[in-house]
Structure 1
């Protein structure tokens, strides 16, 4: 508060941005003694505020409410992408909305907060246009720990629920699986995809639908637009181009539906351009997209661990360790994968999401890539079983995914 920056609250639709701003934050302001006439709000995706989607009218409305220069005002704007026209969205000039927000920033007695569901306009463009005067606050669906605070049951039953229906907040108030399923399926098709089609003026949505299904079916698998095009050609008999696939993936990222994880050569200390992995912002939405028919525990757990690391602020890459040697007198070279290389400042962790280690062969397989890393950063294997954390002779820590998800400081222990 009061730092001279516009607070940009970003995240997917229905993940809790509006609740954070208009319930939790407004209650906080009231608790501080701020009167309602000093809280200026506009919910731009509500028809009641449709006139204010015009930036000039929005600016006039806000400034008309600021009647005392020596008193503090708080401006709260919800879903501000509605104040950016299609022409501005696809044009070369900055949208007029940015001028409105910059104008408000020049008023010393005004503190500005906005929410939005398009990362290109808000995470990227706002930071560019405001030249360091934008402060992004990222809101994500409920983490497993947050989910368990509201779930009435033990951790194992909570996990069984979370891996199917995810962490969209409203699902926790629904009583039946049918209600949750219908809500998530409708949210994906009627809100997310329709927003993307309308915002990007797509004439046909079938290819976008098909792409979402392909990505949802392959979480945790290496992919790239060329491989996806091959799937379209062989399975769907589609002539979609690589450029269109790349563009559509960008739209899904902008809408906070998916995130990409790049491959990183650990020993060579360089990024590998392609292929990449794609993870869903919420596993419940991913499952709903596939009609809850492909709830593979191993891949879902990997997606949940990725989301947890991102929620904790880590930059997350897929690690690649190159192994060279001789077998039967012949030289060989192979690439081993580390599920996640997580970096935050001076911290780094190498993490394998193993789900289960039923025997020594599987244990050796999961640890092989970690043993190929010769630095001193912590190396961790996560399993779904409830176990006490243990270290082997090489210093590799094996722990339960429940401990990892429920104890936010466990990596620093």
Structure 2
């Protein structure tokens, strides 16, 4: 089974030889290694690059354990670069393994950054690294190298990528994707039990244990509980104060707002969840709190909850969010204020637009409606869109199979299948 991930491969190819460190980030097991060490290396070979000019180090493999010492890593890479006039491609996988806990929490930059800086100074070396911690890579590397770090963000399989390997139609594929998500390895598993055990283990034994170890946490139960609370409330507005109230009333556990904020940050750094801020469409400003949190992968989210809360409406919303982010859009939750009069009194009501998606000069307002069974539901979903007086496209996505159609106010209704399977669907 070989899934082409052309969106990401094209980004790597476009950045070849640009004098920057190509930083490939994303959750562990989402396909970064396959992208870099299979797809990208195959491309290099197709362009005539000899294997001796591809230097690869897989730092989460015990075979390369001694390379986790930055000095040894640097010495090894330099030893492989034998001809100063030839181009070499250096591929380093899961580089957070070369940063100790003490270095990560210390005041001085980790020694790994010195290694990367040294490689940057070699004019005949093109450097690519992968990692699963956004603070060490997306943030710190970009800061440390001041414009010489170039991030390629990789996510679990999109629905379109998933369908490349799924043997069946889109409707059955959707049912599978909604339940088990897009972690690539699940596609090689034959039974639901295998997939369930794999996803449960990946979440608890890899992601959460990494967070606990990397951040020196002593009370992992609080992190577990917070993860469950967030998994149970995808698509719902929340903030640390509301979560603390849940801990008090439901879990009968005390936890501070600061600790909750810190733990949410750890989950974001590990690429488990993402935050969507609220945006006042008419006022053209952000609203500080509350926010929404979405999971990077539905299979991982469902596994965390023992597959007991598979709510189709909220999961579809999460999948739409992930697809927009995969396509490179900045995504906010829209708020449209509506003023009305009742019994002679004026009142204000806030209506929600599920997503305000921005990319350069492009903007789309999108509602994830799942179903529109009645005129009342149709009116409800369109209300916030009709309250927006600009000319950007307004779209309602439904789970049913329907032909794309515009109403007399220009609002487009389309099937979520058409949206997910056609990369150009928003331009229809």
The TM-score with structure 2 as length reference comes to: 0.96
Q: Note if 1:176 corresponds to 2:186.
A: no
Question: Aligned-pair distance for 1:329?
Answer: 1.5
Question: Aligned-pair distance for 1:331?
Answer: 1.2
Q: Note if 1:295 corresponds to 2:310.
A: yes
Question: Aligned-pair distance for 1:111?
Answer: 0.6
Pairs within 5 Å for 1:373-384: 373-384=388-399
Question: Aligned-pair distance for 1:36?
Answer: 2.1
Q: Indicate the residue corresponding to 1:139 in structure 2.
A: 154
Q: Note if 1:243 corresponds to 2:282.
A: no
Which aligned runs of 4 or more in structure 1 are off by greater than 4 angstroms? none
Q: Indicate the residue corresponding to 1:340 in structure 2.
A: 355
Q: Note if 1:23 corresponds to 2:38.
A: yes
Mapped partners of 1:410, 1:286: distance in 2: 27
Mapped partners of 1:345, 1:30: distance in 2: 35
Q: Indicate the residue corresponding to 1:150 in structure 2.
A: 165
Further displaced range: 49-58 or 292-301: 49-58
Mapped partners of 1:411, 1:32: distance in 2: 34
Question: Aligned-pair distance for 1:37?
Answer: 1.9
Q: Indicate the residue corresponding to 2:291 in structure 1.
A: 276
Mapped partners of 2:340, 2:233: distance in 1: 32
Q: 1:208 aligns with which of 190, 200, 223?
A: 223
Q: Note if 1:110 corresponds to 2:125.
A: yes
Question: Aligned-pair distance for 1:170?
Answer: 0.6
Secondary structure of the corresponding residue to residue 250 of structure 2: helix
Q: 1:80 aligns with which of 95, 98, 105?
A: 95
Further displaced range: 395-404 or 296-305: 395-404
Q: Note if 1:11 corresponds to 2:26.
A: yes
Once the two structures are superposed, residues 22-46 of structure 1 have per-residue CA deviations (whole angstroms, 9 ceiling, x without a partner) of 1111122222222222111111111
Mapped partners of 1:137, 1:186: distance in 2: 27
Mapped partners of 1:40, 1:161: distance in 2: 38
Q: Indicate the residue corresponding to 2:365 in structure 1.
A: 350
Question: Aligned-pair distance for 1:88?
Answer: 0.9
Mapped partners of 2:48, 2:402: distance in 1: 49
Pairs within 5 Å for 1:188-267: 188-267=203-282
Structure 1: 5+ residue stretches without partners: none
Mapped partners of 2:107, 2:228: distance in 1: 32
Secondary structure of the corresponding residue to residue 272 of structure 1: strand
Mapped partners of 1:36, 1:382: distance in 2: 47
Q: 2:345 aligns with which of 319, 330, 338?
A: 330
Mapped partners of 1:397, 1:5: distance in 2: 41
Q: Indicate the residue corresponding to 1:159 in structure 2.
A: 174
CA RMSD of aligned residues (A): 0.7
Q: Indicate the residue corresponding to 1:395 in structure 2.
A: 410
Q: Indicate the residue corresponding to 1:67 in structure 2.
A: 82
Once the two structures are superposed, residues 299-354 of structure 1 have per-residue CA deviations (whole angstroms, 9 ceiling, x without a partner) of 00000000000000000000000111201212111100000000000000000000
Mapped partners of 1:280, 1:92: distance in 2: 32
Mapped partners of 2:40, 2:395: distance in 1: 37
Q: Indicate the residue corresponding to 1:93 in structure 2.
A: 108
Mapped partners of 1:380, 1:72: distance in 2: 48
Once the two structures are superposed, residues 156-176 of structure 1 have per-residue CA deviations (whole angstroms, 9 ceiling, x without a partner) of 101111000010001111111
Mapped partners of 2:189, 2:353: distance in 1: 37
Mapped partners of 2:410, 2:18: distance in 1: 44
Once the two structures are superposed, residues 70-92 of structure 1 have per-residue CA deviations (whole angstroms, 9 ceiling, x without a partner) of 11111110000011111111112
Secondary structure of the corresponding residue to residue 97 of structure 2: helix
Secondary structure of the corresponding residue to residue 239 of structure 1: coil
Give the count of matched residue pairs.
413
Question: Aligned-pair distance for 1:257?
Answer: 0.3
Mapped partners of 1:25, 1:314: distance in 2: 24
Once the two structures are superposed, residues 205-231 of structure 1 have per-residue CA deviations (whole angstroms, 9 ceiling, x without a partner) of 100000000000000000000000000
Once the two structures are superposed, residues 154-201 of structure 1 have per-residue CA deviations (whole angstroms, 9 ceiling, x without a partner) of 111011110000100011111111111111000000100010001001
Q: Note if 1:122 corresponds to 2:137.
A: yes
The TM-score with structure 1 as length reference comes to: 0.99
Mapped partners of 1:28, 1:405: distance in 2: 27
Q: 1:363 aligns with which of 364, 378, 402?
A: 378
